[in-house]
Structure 1
Amino acid sequence: MEKAYINLGIFCVIGALAPILPAFATNDLGGQVAQASTLMAQSDTIYHTKVYSFSENLVAQKAPITSVSQLSDVQPSDWAFQALRTLVERYSCLAGYSDNLFRGDRVLNRYEFAASLDTCLKRVNKQIATAKAELFPEEDLATLQKLQEDFADELTVLGNRVDALEVATAELKADQFSTTTKLNGEVIFALSTASRNNKAIPSNVSTSSVSDVDSNLSFSQRAILNLETSFTGQDALIVSVYGNNFPDFLDVTGSKMARLVYEQDTGGSTENDFGLFYLSYQFPIGERLNVLVEPYGGVLSDFVDTINPFLGSAGDGSISAFGNRNPIYWQSSFGAGVGVTYNFSNTASLSLGYLATEASNPNSGLTGGSYGAIAQLTLRPAEAINLGLTYVRSFNGFSNVGVGSIYANDPFDGADNIANSYGFEASFQISPQMAVGGWVGYVQTEAISGANEGANATILNYAITLAFPDLFQEGNLAGIVLGIPPKVTSNEINLREDKDTSLHLEAFYRFQLTKNIGITPGILVITNPEHNKANNTIYIGTLRTTFSF
């Protein structure tokens, strides 16, 4: 290089002196200058080429590539590039980029080119498999074969990498889960009123004790906030807090038959206390067994399907507690316990559960106080048919039913009792716009303490329900409930037996304004309240607005 610069200097001096030399000399020297300039350019080009090649070799030595062919790019002018472009244009085997442009004039490394070739090969092979072979010229098939041979190594490496990536992705989908807590809730506003008549009294009670109903329009609310946490994606830890100031219509009407589904049994208090309402943890064991642990606020119906799909929600179903589910599910409510469900198949399952209402009290615990145990076989012989066979064993649990007559809620005047309850529930969706359902509940109970120890009583209830989903508008729901609230049909304590029969008549219509807001006007009629024809019919009207989120 030093010689090149020396020669360049000499020729530059000669070039500068050329104008003062004779013409013949100038011409000779000019030719020499031109020749020297050419030699200089060649020398400089050789120098830069060597430097560039040396640098490239240094980079190549550091890169983890062992094959020389892997360092080569595929230029748009190369045969392989042109061949692939022809195939793309002829068979539309590449769709291009997300901006709808196919950048077919860019330099590609061998792996980028192999990826495009692989995609094109798959689509052309698919076209060959679904079309007649003669539609594809032999020269195109030969081109494909040649491209596959030239890029066989790259295609193999890409295939292995894709397989490994698919395995890793499958493992990630199977194992990936982030512990999260979700908030959801339900808020109910309701206007409610009861008819102004005499308060209901039980059978065998003197009419001299009758008092007037003093009922006005009330505006009340209930709010439930649920925190749901999952640790594995299959389990669920639920913490619910609750506030409610709905009145107890027993205080107004004299009968729990008039109880609305969203009111708490507060003894007439409307204090709006807000606190822990429900706590549970649910998790699977294997593919068929599910376990539900409820340390606080559990009810027996949590462990089973109550077979009342359209009317079984307090927020958007039946307006009455009786119309919500078979009353035998209400026994031993708001306790602590555990339940399991085993799914034999998609059409049959068995659920077992146990609750103790005083589980946190060391004096009674899980077994020394009031309790309820449930077993239910749930059958789904067809997609539109659900059936339930239910058994409940309870100790001092039936007083929590809270929707029947005073005698049904307490058949032995405060004495401890054991009850065996049997239920049959059914639901049949006749069409997408109509479903019919119902239940029968039968209870045999015995007093086990007090002066009436050993006395037996029988309690019966049943109902028929009709539901009309999407009536007049998608998301709306109309419902009708007709039934007999729990009634003491026989009792060895004769004075605590219901002599007549009440009818529960209910109708409601839910307007689903949005996905999260529904308004439900409804009316509830109880004839012969407390199964006593001496009582006036009770009428209750309500306008429920439900916000769910």
Structure 2
Amino acid sequence: MKLFQQLLVAPAALGLLAPLAANATELNINGVSDYAASGEQVTSITQFSDVYPTDWAYQALSNLIERYGCVAGYPNGTYRGNRAMTRFEAAALLNACLDRVTEVTDELKRLMKEFEKELAILKGRVDGLEARVGELEATQFSTTTKLTGKAEFTIGAQSYGGDETNNLQDPATGEYLGDTGTVFSYRTTLNLNTSFTGKDLLYTRLRTGNFGDNGFSGKSDSYTGSQTQIEASKSSANSLKVDKLWYQFPLGNDFQVFAGPLIENYYMLAATPGVYKHVLKQFKLGGYYGAYGASTSPGAGINWISNRNADYSDPKFKVSVNYVAKNGAKSDPNDGGIAGDRSKGKFLSQIAYGTPSWQVSAAYAYSQAGMTVGGAGTPLGKSTSGYDDANQFNLNAYYQPLDSGWIPSISVGWSLTSFNLEDGAADGTRQQAQGWLVGLNWQDAFMRGNRLGFAVGQPQFVTQIKGTDPSNGKKYPADGNYAFELYYDFQVTDNITVTPALFYLSRPFGQETGDSAARGGTGADQFSTLGGLVLTTFKF
């Protein structure tokens, strides 16, 4: 019997005395004698012929009999629960229960004596935990904010190959493109997750890095710079900056609302398009340079998940709409503002259906002139001239097995960008581009906790230019290249991961390589990029 149950018996019985005695208008000496003389404690409530499961006190009476064994009936097998209790009867009941409590108390004393050492050890541990909790409360960072971080070290190099290595120049600067030296760079990220209600989130991300203009940064002088940009890069000259800042909160049970001065479109999506873990940024989100290409800007959005709080494994519909504007922080309506002609805005919508194991999704984006539709070094560029706006589409799907094994997770994606050209745009202006990828991940590859990854695809390449007319001898664009990456995540500890990786770009200059067969040449000119790196990630 638990101690607190025993201590409850006495007051419970005493509570019976006053009210019930008040209802007894006369002393029934014969009834008291019968009750006290029975001397036989019942062991089951079924021994009472006049007590039924439908009685309101059935469970309480059953507990007194089975737990405490201090309830007696009348010699004729009845309990007579509807009659008033005299003070003598209450005293008899209380006396029986107190005797039982005394017996159990003696047993507890013997047990406490026997386990005195163990109890002392437990008390010491509890006192120690209380002291540690007090110390944590006194020195905690915040009562509303959780801080997490990640430091990433990258060491690697790139080399160029093909018969055009010695004379191919950057079309923008005319500079010679030679092999790159080995570089050692870092990126550090601090995430501040703040919640005021337990359901909302104020997200602040601080970042710094020193990638500068090296070949992994996306800012290289090399024309291939953006296509070899890795996800773990940051070029801030060692200055810590607020990189992301937004607030999100639930609206009802199934909606989530976002708003912030530093946010990208894809952070507001209810569904991630793919599950492939990438090294090169162009493999991000199942094709980063399609509808999902983004720029950190002021923006807002809302998403909806059907039965959001239902079983996680159930299939669900997911719908998202959002908007960001690169010039959203500028007050001049002729050169900025939100939802204006000069906002450089991007509207993104997405619909998806699936479970954590599989999903299909479709996305549409409308991008104003000047908004990111591709990366520098891709055929689209960051601010392609000659067009007013662009319409972009993405189709994506993924499958990942519930159990790790030789079957990998599979992510596939296809994207299309269609430009609306300015009046008078010259022949040769890009009108349409496409891209695709397939990414595979093997979880627990070779060792538990490790991961093997491989991806192949084509970043957005031009498929249509103005003035293309084969009947007049004008050839189609000979653009595009194939991109490959292979990596292995080695989980050293729960907080340290080492990732060796290789990547290869077959023709990163596209039609700028020269002497293409589509433009009447022999097609012999070639140029390629091979890169290797080791990425070490520390999480804290």
Q: What is the TM-score when the length of structure 1 is the normalising length? A: 0.63
Tell me how far apart the structure 2 counterparts of residues 456 and 526 of structure 1 sit (CA, whole Å).
22
Aligned runs of 1:87-486 on 2, under 5 Å? 118=63, 121=66, 180-195=144-159, 209=174, 211-248=176-213, 249=215, 251=220, 253-255=222-224, 256-264=226-234, 266=235, 271-309=237-275, 311=276, 317-325=277-285, 326-327=287-288, 328-345=290-307, 346-363=315-332, 364-368=336-340, 369-380=343-354, 384-397=357-370, 399=372, 401-402=374-375, 405=378, 407-409=379-381, 412=384, 414-415=385-386, 417-430=388-401, 432-433=403-404, 434-448=408-422, 452=426, 457-486=431-460
Q: Which amino acid aligns with 1:338?
A: A
Asked if 2 retains the 8 angstrom alpha-carbon contact of 1:300 and 1:333, the reply is: no
Residue 481 and residue 146 in structure 1: after superposition, are their counterparts in 2 closer, same or farther (change >3 A)?
A: same
Asked if 2 retains the 8 angstrom alpha-carbon contact of 1:282 and 1:291, the reply is: yes
Deviation at 1:529, TM superposition (A): 1.4
Deviation at 1:396, TM superposition (A): 2.5
Tell me how far apart the structure 2 counterparts of residues 220 and 144 of structure 1 sit (CA, whole Å).
89
**Secondary structure, counterpart of 2:398 in structure 1:** strand
What is the CA RMSD across the aligned residues, in angstroms? 4.4
Q: Which amino acid aligns with 1:540?
A: G
Q: Which amino acid aligns with 1:470?
A: D
**Secondary structure, counterpart of 2:176 in structure 1:** coil
CA deviation vs aligned residue, 1:250-296 (integer Å, no higher than 9, x gap):
526421211111224x5xxx611111111111111111111111221
CA deviation vs aligned residue, 1:189-220 (integer Å, no higher than 9, x gap):
11121115589899998899461324222111
Match of 2:482 among 481, 503, 509: 503
Choose 193-202 or 390-399, whichever is displaced more. Answer: 193-202
CA deviation vs aligned residue, 1:58-109 (integer Å, no higher than 9, x gap):
xxxxx99955889xxxxxxx9999959x88xxxxxxxxxxxxxxxxxxxxxx
Match of 2:495 among 516, 532, 547: 516
CA deviation vs aligned residue, 1:437-484 (integer Å, no higher than 9, x gap):
110000101233775599661010000111111112222111111001
Residue 231 and residue 489 in structure 1: after superposition, are their counterparts in 2 closer, same or farther (change >3 A)?
A: same
Tell me how far apart the structure 2 counterparts of residues 208 and 295 of structure 1 sit (CA, whole Å).
34
Q: Which residue of 2 aligns with 1:47?
A: none
Which structure 1 segments of 5+ residues have no match? 1-62, 71-77, 88-113, 125-138, 156-177, 312-316
Tell me how far apart the structure 1 counterparts of residues 457 and 75 of structure 2 sit (CA, whole Å).
81
CA deviation vs aligned residue, 1:166-206 (integer Å, no higher than 9, x gap):
xxxxxxxxxxxx96211112221111211155898999988
Deviation at 1:523, TM superposition (A): 0.8
Residue 521 and residue 302 in structure 1: after superposition, are their counterparts in 2 closer, same or farther (change >3 A)?
A: farther
Residue 416 and residue 284 in structure 1: after superposition, are their counterparts in 2 closer, same or farther (change >3 A)?
A: same
Tell me how far apart the structure 1 counterparts of residues 371 and 197 of structure 2 sit (CA, whole Å).
38
Q: Which amino acid aligns with 1:300?
A: Y
Tell me how far apart the structure 2 counterparts of residues 387 and 141 of structure 1 sit (CA, whole Å).
74
Tell me how far apart the structure 2 counterparts of residues 511 and 332 of structure 1 sit (CA, whole Å).
30
Tell me how far apart the structure 1 counterparts of residues 256 and 247 of structure 2 sit (CA, whole Å).
11
**Secondary structure, counterpart of 1:520 in structure 2:** strand
Tell me how far apart the structure 1 counterparts of residues 344 and 166 of structure 2 sit (CA, whole Å).
28
Deviation at 1:535, TM superposition (A): 4.4
Deviation at 1:542, TM superposition (A): 1.4
Q: Which amino acid aligns with 1:188?
A: E
Q: Which amino acid aligns with 1:212?
A: L
CA deviation vs aligned residue, 1:36-77 (integer Å, no higher than 9, x gap):
xxxxxxxxxxxxxxxxxxxxxxxxxxx99955889xxxxxxx
Is 1:544–2:535 an aligned residue pair?
A: yes
Aligned residues: 404
**Secondary structure, counterpart of 1:486 in structure 2:** strand
**Greater Rg by CA:** 1
Deviation at 1:516, TM superposition (A): 2.0
CA deviation vs aligned residue, 1:312-358 (integer Å, no higher than 9, x gap):
xxxxx311101122222443410111111112345211100100112
Q: Which amino acid aligns with 2:478?
A: K
Asked if 1 retains the 8 angstrom alpha-carbon contact of 2:291 and 2:364, the reply is: no
- Percent of aligned pairs sharing the same letter: 21
Which structure 2 segments of 5+ residues have no match? 1-14, 23-35, 45-58, 94-141, 308-314, 469-473, 514-524
Residue 64 and residue 388 in structure 1: after superposition, are their counterparts in 2 closer, same or farther (change >3 A)?
A: same
**Secondary structure, counterpart of 1:307 in structure 2:** coil
Tell me how far apart the structure 2 counterparts of residues 123 and 403 of structure 1 sit (CA, whole Å).
81
Asked if 2 retains the 8 angstrom alpha-carbon contact of 1:237 and 1:282, the reply is: yes
